[in-house]
Each structure stands twice: as structure tokens, then as C-alpha cells.
Amino acid sequence: MTKTKILLDHGSGGKMAQDLIADLMLPGFDNPMLAKLDDGAVLELNGQRLAFSTDSYVVDPIFFPGGCIGDLAINGTVNDIAMCGARPLFLSVGLIIEEGFDQDDLKRILAAMSAAARQAGVLVVTGDTKVVPRGAADKVFINTTGIGVIPAGVAVGGDNARIGDQVIVSGTLADHGMTILSQREGLSFDSTLESDSAPLNHLVDAMLQDGRAVHVLRDPTRGGVATTLNEIAQSSTVGIRLIEDQIPVKPDVAGVCDLLGFDPLYVANEGKLLAVVAPEDAAAVLAVMQADPHGADACIIGEVIADHPGKVFMQTRIGGHRIVDMLTGEQLPRIC
């Protein structure tokens, strides 16, 4: 079977997306900053380290419980820069708007972007607007690009996890992905779910104070916690062991996942981060996180191990174990 067309799976953030990047994109742009494939690139200019990141937002529906495409676009890029250990400063915004789009909806989106930028403490300093004929885009697409400064002494990177490090997640899993899914598909149990869209830069700032040894920071968006941890395990050539019992999932989110046969470990988050922290600093980092509104439910979910480099394992509730693989394509609801 020939595979000459781009499938939705190629955009799912999992293995197929990785392959697409490796096969089609990296060869033409090869350079050491790109090759790291972290959430953003780290650039060095006149002795100052900068983090630089871009992301496009095409979420459907554009308004959902807990946020809209506007704040998502600001928070997403703010978070990608924060995950480089940087303080995000400036953002650009590119809008692609479908002909016929309601101006009131655009105003709502821009107001949400403005509020999100204020909350994150970043300035939108340049932008671009395009309008395309009806049908050439779906309502509105937003691209944001951001730049931030990495404070001296901070050394976070996907390849920096070390044996013995503790794996911390800043809160419950799968809130955003299941909210969007239930809204998009008009599932009737959607009333209690809410996206976790939030800027995490102030949380990261607090975590990195006092020279605490935070080795890796990642926000587990598309592909979820499982895919992000696999990427870390591969980049750092270490194993990661998760404790099933300690993985936080809200009961209603777990219920919806169970019903559709989805694993919350693979569902997108938009206001959560994973931190890999040296064991001696884990308690301090955890306490700082729990004191922040965006990290109140933070907990340790596992540790970095020497065995099985490049792989993620789970110790299950009943005392068994299994592998936690990367996501391959979109999760699809099962038949029964």
C-alpha cells in the first residue's frame, strides 16, 4: 500500500509525526540547534542564551470549557519557551481567518489572547493577518512564535535526565484532550470537563530558583505524558519507571477515557509540565510547585532508572509491570 498522502496521524505528535520530521524536514535544515528537537531551540547570541519557539493552533472547536484558541495560542508558546528553562518575553501572532468569520468571535479570541499575554507577562510585539476564501481554512488558525531569555546557571534539556532523578508531573492528566474531544464530538457527558490551558512560566521560574537541579522540563501536549517521557528516555538514554498508583487523573476524565478506550497517558495537556529533578532537590521542587496555583496537584510519578535505556515502564497497581510505548497515531475510540 503506498502512503503518499499526509494523514491526520502525521500530526498527532506521536511516532508518525516523528518519522515525518526526521524523513522530510530535518534533512533540508540540518543544524545542531534544530537537531535537539526540544520544545524550542536554544540560541546563543553575544553570551546570552535565548529560547525560540513556534507553534500553530488549529483547535476545533475554537471555544471550549476552560479556554479558547486565543489563550491556547499564547499559553502554548509561552510554555514551550518556559520548558527550555527560559523566561518568555516577546511573542508574534499570525492569524489566518476564513472569509465570513464572525467579528464578535474574533474580538473574543483577541481579548482572550490579550488577557493570557498579560497573565504570562509577555508582550505581543509583531503580527500578521491573512484572510482566505471560505473553505480554505476552518474559521481561524493562529500561529504564535516567542522568544525568551535563559537565566545563567539553568541547564534543562531533553537529553539531561540522569539515573536516580525523580519524575514530577504538575497536575492531573488528559483534561484538555478529553474536553476538546467531548466538545467536538458532542458527547453528552461533557459538562464537567474543562481544559487546563494555562501559562506555566511563573511556575517554572519558581521551580528554578535557588539553583535547584531541574534537569528536564517538558509540557506533555500532543501525544501526552507517555510520548513525552519516551522522548526524554530516548534523548537521555535512560529508562523511566512510572508508578501507576501515583498518576493523577480526575475521576470524570478517567471515566470518559475508560468509556472510549482512551489511555490518559496519551491524551494532550495544555497546562501541565513534566519535570525530571535530581533526587536531593525533588522534595523542594515539589513543595514549590504545590504552592503555585498551576501546580497544586503536583506529584512524583516515577523515577529515572539505568535499566532498559530509551524505554518507559509502568509498575501497575496490582504489582505487575508493563511497557509504556509512544503514541503511534491519533487514539481512536474503540468499537466496543
Find, among 120, 274, 50, 88, the residue nearest to 285 by Cα.
274
Q: Does 323 bind other proteins (CB under 8 A)?
A: yes
Q: Does 19 bind other proteins (CB under 8 A)?
A: yes
Instruction: Give the binding range for other proteins (CB under 8 A) out of 119-127, 275-283, 286-294, 319-327.
Output: 319-327
Q: Which residues contact 258 (CB under 8 A, 6 or more apart)?
A: none
Query: In angstroms, rounded to a whole number, what is the distance separating the alpha carbons of residues 120 and 70?
Result: 13
DSSP string across 117-186: HHHHT-EEEEEEEEEE-TTSSSSEEEEEEEEEEPPTT----TT---TTPEEEE-S-SSHHHHHHHHHHTT
Residue 253 contacts residue 263 (beta carbons within 8 Å):
no
Instruction: Return the residues of window 31-60 that contact other proteins according to CB under 8 A.
Output: none
Q: How many chain residues are in contact with other proteins, going by CB under 8 A?
A: 42
Query: In angstroms, rounded to a whole number, what is the distance separating the alpha carbons of residues 312 and 335?
Result: 28
Q: Does 325 bind other proteins (CB under 8 A)?
A: yes
Least distance CB 316 / other proteins (angstroms) = 3
Q: What is the DSSP letter of 283?
A: H
Q: In what order do the strands lie in the sheet with 239-243?
A: 214-218, 274-277, 166-169, 299-305, 239-243, 312-315, 321-323
Q: Does 5 bind other proteins (CB under 8 A)?
A: yes
Q: Which residues contact 34 (CB under 8 A, 6 or more apart)?
A: 26, 41
> Per the structure block, which three cell numbers stand in for 68?
479558547
> Per the structure block, which three cell numbers stand in for 253?
476524565
Least distance CB 30 / other proteins (angstroms) = 24
Pick 215 or 241: Cβ nearer other proteins: 241
Instruction: Return the residues of window 257-296 that contact other proteins according to CB under 8 A.
Output: 258, 260-261, 263
Cβ neighbours, 10 Å, residue 65 = 16
**What Cα–Cα distance (Å) separates residue 137 from each residue in 60, 124, 206, 240, 279?**
12, 24, 40, 41, 48
Binding pattern to other proteins, positions 141-180, x when CB under 8 A? Answer: ----------------------------------------
Q: Which of 60, 138, 185, 307 binds other proteins (CB under 8 A)?
A: 185
Q: Does 254 bind other proteins (CB under 8 A)?
A: yes
Least distance CB 173 / other proteins (angstroms) = 13
- Where would I find the H helices in the chain? 15-20, 26-29, 32-35, 69-82, 103-120, 175-184, 201-208, 224-236, 251-260, 279-290
> 92 - beta bridge partners?
126, 145
Instruction: Give the binding range for other proteins (CB under 8 A) out of 3-11, 44-52, 204-212, 297-305.
Output: 3-11
Instruction: Return the residues of window 187-206 that contact other proteins according to CB under 8 A.
Output: 187
Instruction: Give the binding range for other proteins (CB under 8 A) out of 11-19, 167-175, 274-282, 299-307.
Output: 11-19
Q: Does 334 bind other proteins (CB under 8 A)?
A: yes
Query: In angstroms, rounded to a whole number, what is the distance separating the alpha carbons of residues 88 and 77?
Result: 9
Pick 103 or 188: Cβ nearer other proteins: 188
Q: Does 333 bind other proteins (CB under 8 A)?
A: yes
Q: Does 130 bind other proteins (CB under 8 A)?
A: no
SS3 at position 195? coil
Q: Does 134 bind other proteins (CB under 8 A)?
A: no
Pick 98 or 263: Cβ nearer other proteins: 263
Q: Does 11 bind other proteins (CB under 8 A)?
A: no
Least distance CB 16 / other proteins (angstroms) = 5
Binding pattern to other proteins, positions 299-318, x when CB under 8 A? Answer: ------------x--xxxxx
The residues of the shown chain that bind other proteins, judged by CB under 8 A, are: 1, 3, 5-9, 15-16, 19, 185-187, 245, 249, 251, 254-255, 258, 260-261, 263, 311, 314-323, 325, 328-329, 331-336
